[in-house]
Amino acid sequence: MRRSPRVLWLVTLLLAGAGLATGLHIVLAAHDRTTGVRGDGKVFGSAPARVFTEDYDGPPVVGDELTRVPALAPLQPGNRTHHIRIDIVPQDIEVAPGVRYTAWTFGGSVPGPVLHVREGDRVDFTMKNRSASTVTIAQPWASASPFLADLVQDTHHGPASAVMPMPHSMDFHAGPVAPDDKWRIVMPGQSIEFTWQANYPGVFLYHCGMAPVLQHLAMGQYGVVVVSPRNGYPTDAEVARSYVVVQSEFYLKPDEADDGMSVLDFDAAMAKRPSQVVFNGNMQALKTTPLVANAGERVRLYFNNVGPSDGTSLHIVGAIFDRVYYEGNPANAMSGMQTVQFGASGGGVLEFIAPEEGMYTLVDHEFADAQRGAVGYIEVRSPSGAITHTSAMMAH
């Protein structure tokens, strides 16, 4: 068993988690929770989270609103309540050519599923910590969610089931709630249910909040929630194509006990020296499968820079961000930006007009990070969608 050397520190972390969880429960008892709807439609306050055990071994991701990057689910008209499940499952995945590690994931991939809701929607969320059992992530459950159907098509991760018992939690940046209640620690085999209201539009991070958070983020526990504005963005009618792009860092080193695998290099994470910086969870994701647009189209990116510890200077070689809604809020509109900066966990909606046929490069203009992998291609075809032009790929 290649993981036997890790058993000791896993047990140590489990004990630390149990101690922290007990502390949180004491804090919870002192809270008074009231529910209120404000005049502007925002809701603050919801029922306490419920931690329980369930005999559930079904699909790890359930909900029509959940997709795999770069896809975004369509929205139904009006406000609604979304009943979604995203379980925690460890998976062996590849993040760069020849670099595989046992990721801690939400739903089976890094990043986890993209959730799309509308401002004012409610999310009824369920999550089971299945880190102690083997979970098959795609088949036979592809119909449970577009995310799982998309994952069957994934050509980059090459996921394989893994077991790594560990306490985890879920923190939705999109949900303003008491973190010591909703984001509480869930032990292996336990489940949690809670509700939150999408009060603000934006492109929000979600992630595990178990200490040390740096470790759980670096291991792959993150994804994004897109909350579309109640009244849309001013440019909605002009947008021809939309994509979700998530930037994140990995801190990996070869596993001395297994020459086929890598493991977390926590010293490198503390020193902010990533081994890879990638778009959509894999160094090759947007290189071998470029985003596509036709010349003249307005293209929208829903972007989040996860970190866990580094910012980004997002740029497209050959294009200008015609309109940017910083953090994804239509009130934060900016125009004509060459480069947009995002700190760790920051996001936004960025639009550009595809100038003419050719191959464009999405890049973190902090070029040490581009060297580490933060490069993706946007293939712009002719206005009719035909490819009539062959270009040499720029070297980055």
Bridge partners (DSSP) of residue 252 are: 264
Q: Rule CB under 5 A: which of 23-52 touch Cu ion? A: none
Residue 221 or 313 with smaller CB distance to Cu ion: 221
Query: d(Cα 372, Cα 359) in Å, to the nearest integer?
Result: 20
Q: Rule CB under 5 A: which of 184-213 touch Cu ion? A: 208, 210
Angstrom CA distances, 395 to 106, 226, 246, 363, 376, stand at 34, 32, 22, 12, 12
Residue 129 or 242 with smaller CB distance to Cu ion: 129
Residue 70 or 281 with smaller CB distance to Cu ion: 281
- The minimum distance between CB 183 and Cu ion, in angstroms, equals 11
Q: Rule CB under 5 A: which of 74-93 touch Cu ion? A: none
- The minimum distance between CB 2 and Cu ion, in angstroms, equals 21
Q: Which residue is nearest to Cu ion (CB)?
A: 208
- The minimum distance between CB 248 and Cu ion, in angstroms, equals 15
- The minimum distance between CB 245 and Cu ion, in angstroms, equals 23
Stretch that binds Cu ion, among 40-48, 107-115, 137-145, 218-226 (CB under 5 A): 218-226
Query: Binding to Cu ion by residue 168, rule CB under 5 A?
Result: yes
Residue 168 or 182 with smaller CB distance to Cu ion: 168
Sheet with 88-96, side-by-side order of all strands: 160-161, 88-96, 99-106, 258-264, 252-255
Q: Rule CB under 5 A: which of 148-167 touch Cu ion? A: none
- The minimum distance between CB 353 and Cu ion, in angstroms, equals 40
Residue 106 or 326 with smaller CB distance to Cu ion: 106
Which positions from 254 to 273 touch Cu ion by CB under 5 A, shown as an x/- string?
A: --------------------
Residue 269 or 319 with smaller CB distance to Cu ion: 269
- The minimum distance between CB 176 and Cu ion, in angstroms, equals 21
- The minimum distance between CB 142 and Cu ion, in angstroms, equals 26
Residue 165 or 229 with smaller CB distance to Cu ion: 165
Residue 212 or 260 with smaller CB distance to Cu ion: 212
Binding site for Cu ion (CB under 5 A): 168, 208, 210, 216, 221
